[in-house]
Chain A
Amino acid sequence: MSITLRVNGNTRTVDVDPSTPLLYILRNDLGLEGPRFGCGLGQCGACTVIINGAAVRSCVTPCSAVKGEITTLEGLSKDGVLHPIQQAWIDEQVPQCGYCQNGQMLTAKVLLDRNPNPSDADIRKFMAGTLCRCMTYYRIQAAIRRAATAMKTADTASNEGVVA
């Protein structure tokens, strides 16, 4: 069956079984290595993508069920400029192996888009289901706080720009 997906601003059509989990299409047909296989059970978050502003686990999402634009890690930066979350991840030197960090960054993005001023408890709770076996949790949380500040500053700056 022919399935059309919108991914990171592009439209792509693939011919697959409609029950195929989105993850395998992104990785094997569209060449996107941002989303990763971790459990295939919706338990770890390694395969996270963003669809309609929600963090979605692509390993348990049949491709035919996807309605809306898909953003993967590859689509987070704009015009070669890293998203403040990515920059915070570099500034805090978050990743160890890095395998889980796709899910960490995209889940954090959804959190900050919904809640620009998360408390420490908000961060823990929202991120709780996104696992890291290198145990970078402490640094991830620091990076989320850093990114929140950076995004607020950027907002203020752009608002001022409008006023001026």
Chain B
Amino acid sequence: MTTFTTVPRQIEDALERCHGASRRDFLRTSGLLVVSFTAAALAPFEVEAAAQGAPGAGPYPLVDFRQLDSWIVIHEDSTATFYVGKTDGGQGTGTAFRQLMCDELDLAYDKSTLIMGRTDITVDQGGSGGSDALQVDAWPARRVAAEARRVLLELAAARFGVPAGELSVREGVITVSADPSKRVTYGELIGGRRFNVALTGQNIDATTGVAKLKPVQELKITGQRLHRYDIPAKVDGSLKWASGAKVPGMVHARNVRPPVAGATLVSIDESSVKGLPGFIRVVSRGNYVAVVCEREEQAIRAAQQLKVQWQKPATPPFPGSDNLYSYIRNATPTSSSKPDIVGNPDAAFAGAATVIESEYEHPFQGHTAIGPAHAMADPSNGQMTIWSNDMKSYGLRLGVAKFLDMPVDRVRVIWMEGPQLYGRTAADDAGFEAAFLAREIGRPVRVQWMRHEETAWDTKGPAYAFKLRGGLDAQGNVVALEYHGRAVDHNHLGYNEPDTVLIAQLMGIRPAAPATGGAVAPSEMYAVPNRRRVADVVSLPLVWESPLRTGNLRDPNGPQVHFASESFIDELAAAAKADPVAFRLKLLTAETRDDSAFRRARSIAALKAAAELYGWDPRPSPKPIGTGALLTGRGVAYCYRNQTIVVEIAEVEVNRETGHVWVKRLVCAHDCGLVVNPEGLERVLEGNMLYGLSRALHEEVRFDTEKVTSVDWTTHPTLTHLDAPAKIDIVLVNGDPDAKRPDLPHYGAGEAACRPTAAAVANAIFDATGVRLRRVPFRDARVLAALKAARV
């Protein structure tokens, strides 16, 4: 019963022998075998429970990142376990870390395992976020692996009495170069014992030993198309998920949300559920209400049956989604960015031969994870252990400690896999709820949000309204460009904040002021001599306790902003009667005063690579409108995110009788620097492009003037198998203009590819039909109405 398929057999055996011993104990007791804490790190729930109940279990302070032993353990059989403070939502982060660390350590990939994101045994790298796992956190991981290799070489040098420089190392075996019969394995040198080597570095990102990293040419495992290690257990059903976390005595909770946003709790009629089988208690504080029952189905029923009286708010919490954009345009901003002005846009517009102005609109969109938010918390032993898939396990630990006013070292979060975790999901909220309820009830409590809660109450990506203006001279050159974006993002939530998670808001807890939120400008390197970029944030009437609370969604503002900006560039290209790719290339190569040659050069390389892969034939859009029911067209869009460049080309088929859009083919050129695992990257790009496509074609959070009305997969449609393109082609580009540089560093790749998709599709629809869609999503009815209005 203790199998965990990614763990080598010997660790499982150790697990049988040594369960209950914690890594913390090990770090205090140098004599204890290393395998024992590895075992504890992987212990199934039964063992966890036993360990927690044991006298003296905990406390759970953070692991000291300045100790090599906190990151790497070498076992007697020369296998290694790596401990990193990242989490992996199925994007292959863990596999990539193992590849890089094995390369630096000189160990075969399959001799390694990796433990992630568990606050009491892995160093605090903050979990996931910002696509920065490889861009930022892989560096300290590489350096500590290099340091371990250096220390092992020193140990071998002492053993053989030769300088370390006269040793060779290969796959965990060190030999004397001059006499290969003299050999020793990593396991023989240090297996089961501590390195006892201190590291330095101001913060965890700067963690380092004294060893140097290998030059990129010497990385052998990095760059290989290795299969992800987490997939077999996801396929054979053996993976243990956060959603399945169980301990003895555990009970089940369900939340009861206000039926109208901003409503106040008046009274609860507990007699409506008291007689139900398994009923334990109704817990309420402020406007937060939950029921707790012995069994899960009992809790679901009790939550449905509980009679609660609510008082509606005096004023409507928000305009209905049908009136959202006029509301945004007429609202007084809560904050505005300082206008970013280059040249003299007003004069340039006045002198332009053609001026075009367009408004774009993008709705609120939610995470709407396939599995609604959940967590389990155990209050045993005066401590709090939370099993969660929250991508920021360390933040959850800190936030819960503050929320419950517990010493932070009494709280730990055991991160486990769960449904997609791209951003500030409701896993944060569920983690706090589980911990609160566990303390109230005095028993382990599992909280599971229902579908309607997840879809209605999960944090949302901000809605936007945009106005863009462009001026062309008589030759079709862009002489002026103006961008004005407005986001409904006032009170944008951070991660795991004890005063903004949903339960805190419903209890009436507030920070001193709402977060100002943000509205951002597009990322592109276009050289336009005169430009102005302005962005405002506006607020809905209801600021707190709102189901329309905003938070980071995968690439928080990217899809919205680039839908507008990259659609508008296409409008300018069409007005100039220019080919959309050539038009962009001209803007990227034009002389400018700003020097962003590096990113611009890589942008050009990616655009050319995408066009070539697609087989792009240069011509202006739209093409002559066809005569049949199905109209086809192609569209391109480009942008970057930090240093990652992405170009996408969509080929669409538009049914002029139904308005249905099918994206038949997607082509992507992607440059994220050094690629650690091309296959893993390609899968992430496929999924992320289709995620962008789902947001472009289907997703919109709908609401009336009282509540969110998107509550399930009917009222909140998503992409399905029917929408999958027939073909996706990806080219991984290395567009570095400096031929002498060996390779670029590894940048992030988790989010950029969903950024240009909506614009590429809108541009393709325009190419096919001559109709410009300026509001997302492009559902059939909206497309058909636009086609009819244009008499297509």
Contacts and interface: CB of A to CB of B under 8 A. Distances in A.
Interface in A110-125: 120, 123-125
B724 A93 contact: no
A133 B277 CA distance: 35
Interface in A15-36: 16-17, 19-21, 24, 27-28, 32-34, 36
A33 B691 contact: no
B687 A96 contact: yes
A94 B238 CA distance: 16
B29 to A, nearest CB: 34
A3 interface: no
The CB with the most chain A CB atoms within 10 A, among B693, B724, B728, is that of B724
B719 A135 contact: yes
A127 to B, nearest CB: 4
Contacts of A16: 295, 297
Interface stretch (B68-76, B176-184, B239-247, B267-275): B239-247
B419 interface: yes
Contacts of B541: none
A105 B688 CA distance: 21
A136 B728 CA distance: 12
Interface stretch (A50-58, A70-78, A155-163): A70-78
B683 interface: yes
A72 B338 CA distance: 57
B726 A120 contact: yes
A2 to B, nearest CB: 15
Interface stretch (B19-27, B369-377, B437-445, B636-644): B369-377
Contacts of A94: 231, 235
A141 to B, nearest CB: 6
Nearest to A97: B90
Contacts of A129: 720
The CB with the most chain B CB atoms within 10 A, among A97, A131, A132, A138, is that of A97
Interface in B365-417: 368-372, 417
Nearest to A73: B237
A95 B227 CA distance: 11
Contacts of A82: 235-236
A82 to B, nearest CB: 6
B713 interface: yes
A77 B236 contact: yes
Sort chain B's interface into a size bin: 35 or more
B451 interface: yes
A48 interface: no
B297 A24 contact: yes
A135 B687 contact: yes
B720 A131 contact: yes
Interface string B712-735: 111000111111111010000000
A99 B371 contact: yes
Contact of A137 (B89, B90, B719): B719
B712 A39 contact: yes
B480 interface: no
Contacts of B90: 95-98, 134
Interface in A80-114: 82, 86, 89-90, 93-102, 105
A128 interface: yes
Contacts of A130: 721
Nearest to B300: A40
Contacts of A124: 721-722, 724
Nearest to B454: A39
A116 to B, nearest CB: 19
Contacts of A34: 237
A74 B237 contact: yes
A134 B688 CA distance: 8
A96 B368 CA distance: 16
A134 B230 CA distance: 15
Nearest to B278: A17
A43 interface: yes
A96 B420 contact: yes
B722 A125 contact: yes
A77 B233 CA distance: 12
Sort chain A's interface into a size bin: 35 or more
Nearest to A77: B236
B690 A86 contact: no
Contact of B231 (A39, A77, A93): A93
B450 A134 contact: no
B687 to A, nearest CB: 5
B371 A135 contact: no
A134 to B, nearest CB: 5
A44 B720 CA distance: 10
The CB with the most chain A CB atoms within 10 A, among B227, B684, B690, is that of B690
B258 interface: no
A77 to B, nearest CB: 6
B725 A138 contact: yes
B647 to A, nearest CB: 19
Contacts of A43: 451, 712-714
B236 A131 contact: no
B745 to A, nearest CB: 24
Contact of B417 (A97, A131, A133): A97
A7 interface: no
A74 B693 CA distance: 33
Contact of A100 (B232, B370, B724): B370
Nearest to A86: B235
A95 to B, nearest CB: 5
B241 A33 contact: yes
A140 interface: yes
B227 A90 contact: yes
Contacts of B722: 124-125, 128
Contacts of B295: 16, 24, 28
Interface in B206-264: 227-228, 230-232, 234-241, 243-244, 246
A119 to B, nearest CB: 12
A141 B724 contact: yes
B448 interface: yes
Contact of B237 (A33, A90, A132, A136): A33
Given A37-B243, A96-B91, A138-B690, A133 B231 contact: no
B706 interface: no
Given A24-B296, A98-B90, A99-B419, A40 B450 contact: yes
A21 B679 CA distance: 39
A32 to B, nearest CB: 8
Given A17-B277, A98-B230, A138-B724, A33 B239 contact: yes
Given A28-B295, A133-B420, A44 B690 contact: no
Contact of A93 (B239, B368, B680): B680
A154 interface: no
A139 interface: yes
A139 B686 contact: yes
A91 B296 CA distance: 36
B78 interface: no
Contacts of A97: 89-90, 370, 417-421
A97 B678 CA distance: 18
B691 A134 contact: yes
B694 interface: yes
A105 B227 CA distance: 19
Contact of A46 (B371, B691, B728): B371
Contact of A72 (B234, B237, B244, B277): B237
B370 A38 contact: yes
A127 B722 CA distance: 8
B370 A46 contact: yes
Nearest to B389: A97
Contact of A131 (B240, B683, B718, B724): B718
A140 B721 contact: yes
User: Considering the complex of A and B, which 10 residue pairs feature the smallest CB-CB distances, nearest first?
Assistant: A98-B234, A135-B690, A96-B90, A73-B237, A97-B90, A137-B724, A127-B721, A99-B419, A34-B237, A74-B237
22 contacts: A16-B295, A28-B295, A40-B451, A43-B712, A46-B371, A74-B238, A77-B236, A89-B235, A90-B231, A90-B232, A94-B235, A95-B90, A95-B235, A97-B90, A97-B370, A99-B418, A105-B235, A124-B721, A124-B724, A128-B722, A133-B368, A135-B691
